[in-house]
Amino acid sequence: MAVLTSDHARQRGEVAALIDEFREVTWSQLDERVNRLVNGLRALGLKTGDTVAVIVGNHCEFFELAMACAHGGWTYVPVNWHWVADELAYVFADADARAVFVDERFADACTAALRDDRGRDVNHVIGIRCAPDTSIATDPRFHAYEDVISGASSAEPADQVLGGPMFYTSGTTGRPKGVRGMLSGGSSMTPDIMKLVAAGFSNFLPIPGRTMLCGPFYHSAQWAFSYLPMIGGSSVVMQHKFDSASMLALIDRHGCTNVHLVPTQMKRMLDLSDDVKSGFRGESLVTVWHGAAPCPPAVKRGLIDWMGPKITEYYGSTEGSIISTITSTEWLAKGGSVGKPLETVEVIVVDDDQQRVSPGSEGTLYFRNKMGTDFTYHNDEGKTAAAHLEPGVFTTGDVGYLDADGYLWLSDRKIDMIISGGVNIYPAEIEGVLAVHPAVEDVAVIGVPDEEFGESVKALVQVKEGVLADDSLASSLVAHCRELLAGYKAPRSVDFVGHIPRTGTGKIQKAPLRAPYWEGHRRRI
């Protein structure tokens, strides 16, 4: 039996481990399917240390695959399913993916990416619920997911080796970079290590419990707040596309104990009618965690007034996991802080000369995990080095300080990342796409205040001489972005400017460009 599922299969085999819009999978079924999937993928030729890309929605199969990789020694790359073919092909090549898992909803973009030269090294394409007449099913590398499982042995896999995720996060070049941490796979560690990591989540969540997953599993936070509790025995109820009213109904129907939200979801919950909100019992719900983006104080206070002091915020990153937390009670007393660092995290604040500053003084924030864990950026030694003050001491690019009580405050950002609805968006990637448009002389992309999403993407465009800057051109520029980038990266608005200010070295001076839009607003991550 698979190490991470065997105990749960023995102790409560008939209890549902996974519930999605299509089916339920019990712990016993999960244990057998993981065994078959490991054996089946090995039979296809996947070797310990290989990488697979996963373009799959919030479905039982994604968790089955994650469990299989944790026992087969494979690194899996959860891919943003909004990405277009060019973005997918880049990740296939950069990650050196040997297999791609895709569900039917994203088959067209995946097919186009696999036909790109950068998809040539993918050996296997495993389709989930892909009809035989779809384009991807005609690829000679195609296998049906259920065929891989049904055709494999259910015997306990031999030589179980720990594998895990490599999440792609935006990089300084404008292309995302894979973050390799302790659990990314390809090592000699056994799956038992994952149990130790998951055990740490019992400090944050009721484990075993029942998780409500209502955000994309490809996001590192959603992965951590659902998959890690599952290793401890928590079941997962999942919703592929977020719907606030349906999510509340699912919590009540299945007795969910915990949920992770981003501020956009929190606002949409508060916007529900009084009838829907009053109909939510919420008796099973123990804790609500939120992070990934700044939450408007009025939204957070409204959720606390509705659900009580079970709302807890965290600050963290894909690279460093959870860094600090703050409870509802603490937040009401210190609104604006992101809480106290975990006992396992040391916060180091340095000035421009990289010298440590005293408490209360502002500087660049660096972090060290006292357990000795660290990360690297896949295929990018330069970016890895730039993110570290010294081995094991890294920065998220944020500026802030620790107050006299040990609470962490964020005051600015050294990087230009836009965080919209909890999603990281790197302006350089969008600027690169807009810069090649024939009407564009120069361009800068910034984040501007957005009531619903925290920030939204705005393009500031300097047009070429003789070009008419009007609404028609603005629409054309947005459409141009949508052809080459995922929809969420496309500018929500375009403003035309006479000149894009740059330094003597050619760097865009974004501070004066952002200033008029943020007047009266506090901008923080």
> Same domain for 356 and 463?
no
Indicate which CATH number applies to the domain containing 378: 2.30.38.10
Region 508-523: mean pLDDT is 82
> Same domain for 484 and 350?
no
Residue 171, pLDDT score: 47
Q: Which of 94-103, 253-262, 430-439, 460-469 has the lowest mean pLDDT?
A: 430-439
> Same domain for 64 and 80?
yes
| Residues 461 and 254: beta-carbon distance below 8 Å | no
320 or 5, greater pLDDT: 5
Region 284-292: mean pLDDT is 93
Indicate which CATH number applies to the domain containing 429: 3.30.300.30
> Same domain for 13 and 125?
yes
> Same domain for 422 and 475?
yes
- Residue 350 inside a domain? The answer is yes
Provide the 3-class DSSP secondary structure of residue 473.
helix
Region 509-520: mean pLDDT is 88
Is residue 115 over pLDDT 90?
yes
Total domains present in the chain: 3
- Residue 480 inside a domain? The answer is yes
Q: Which of 414, 435, 450 is the last residue of a domain?
A: 414
Report how far residue 461's alpha carbon sits from residue 313's, in angstroms, rounded to the nearest whole number. 36
3-state secondary structure string, 299-335? HHHHHHHHHCCCEEEEEEECCCEEEEEECHHHHHHCE
> Same domain for 460 and 391?
no
* Close Cβ partners of 402 (under 8 Å, ≥ 6 residues apart): 347, 349, 359, 360, 408, 409
Average pLDDT, the chain: 90
> Same domain for 141 and 158?
yes
Q: What are phi and psi of 506, to 5 degrees?
A: 95, 0
Is residue 525 over pLDDT 70?
no
Q: Which of 104-108, 336-340, 503-507 has the lowest mean pLDDT?
A: 503-507
> Same domain for 474 and 367?
no
Q: Beta 311-317 vs 287-290: how paired, if at all? A: parallel
CA distances from 462 to 152, 287, 443, 465, 503 (A): 59, 48, 6, 9, 16
- Residue 271 inside a domain? The answer is no
> Same domain for 402 and 442?
no
Report how far residue 431's alpha carbon sits from residue 172's, in angstroms, rounded to the nearest whole number. 13
Residue 207, pLDDT score: 94
Indicate which CATH number applies to the domain containing 153: 3.40.50.980
Q: Which of 372, 395, 414 is the last residue of a domain?
A: 414
Is residue 521 over pLDDT 90?
no
Is residue 524 over pLDDT 60?
no
Number of other CB atoms surrounding residue 228 within 10 Å: 23
Is residue 250 over pLDDT 90?
yes
Residue 174, pLDDT score: 63
- Residue 193 inside a domain? The answer is no
Instruction: Report residue 434 as tokens.
Output: 């807009």
- Residue 177 inside a domain? The answer is no
Provide the 3-class DSSP secondary structure of residue 31.
helix
Residue 21, pLDDT score: 93
Q: Which of 162, 182, 213 is the last residue of a domain?
A: 162
* Most confidently modeled range among 24-38, 395-409, 435-449: 24-38
Q: Which domain holds residue 379?
A: 337-414
The string of pLDDT tens digits covering residues 54-111 is 999 999 999 999 999 999 999 999 999 999 999 999 999 999 999 999 999 999 999 9
Report residue 504's pLDDT band, with 50, 70 and 90 as the boundaries. Answer: low
> Same domain for 65 and 128?
yes
Region 249-272: mean pLDDT is 93
Residue 373, pLDDT score: 81
The string of pLDDT tens digits covering residues 316-335 is 888 878 999 999 999 999 87
Is residue 472 over pLDDT 70?
yes
To 10 degrees, the CA torsion angle through 333, 339, 344, 345? -140
> Same domain for 479 and 363?
no
- Residue 227 inside a domain? The answer is no
Is residue 224 over pLDDT 80?
yes
> Same domain for 404 and 445?
no
For residue 61, what is the DSSP state? Answer: H
The string of pLDDT tens digits covering residues 128-187 is 999 998 889 999 999 999 999 999 999 999 999 999 999 998 644 567 889 988 777 666
- Residue 68 inside a domain? The answer is yes
- Residue 45 inside a domain? The answer is yes
pTM, entire model? 0.84
